[in-house]
Amino acid sequence: MKLALPLKKRQSILNLFKFLNRNHASNADQEMDATTYLMKSPANRTRLLKAMNDIEAGNNIFPRDLADL
């Protein structure tokens, strides 16, 4: 489907999509870099894997009210 928009509006929308796509990729890369860095240490790796298993199993989860933070 084609939208009948003026050229400036079409370009603005395309620029927004490009920005969002680039920003999303950057965040994903940063998250992967942090995870990779933390997984390099055996002690960190053990703690992270245990925390992930606890979350999946519903163990050691303590709800917090944002107002208390």
Model confidence pLDDT, tens digit, residues 3-53 = 565 667 767 777 777 777 765 655 666 666 777 888 888 998 898 888 888
Question: What does the DSSP 8-state code read for residue 58?
Answer: T
Please tell me the distance from the alpha carbon of residue 41 to that of residue 47, in angstroms, as a whole number. 10
17-20 long-range contacts, CB within 8 A, separation 24+: none
Per-residue confidence (pLDDT) for residue 28, from 0 to 100: 60
Q: Spell out the residues 6+ positions from residue 5 whose beta carbon is closer than 8 angstroms to its own.
A: 13
* In the predicted structure, residue 57 carries a pLDDT above the cut 50: yes
How is residue 67 written in tokens? 């107002």
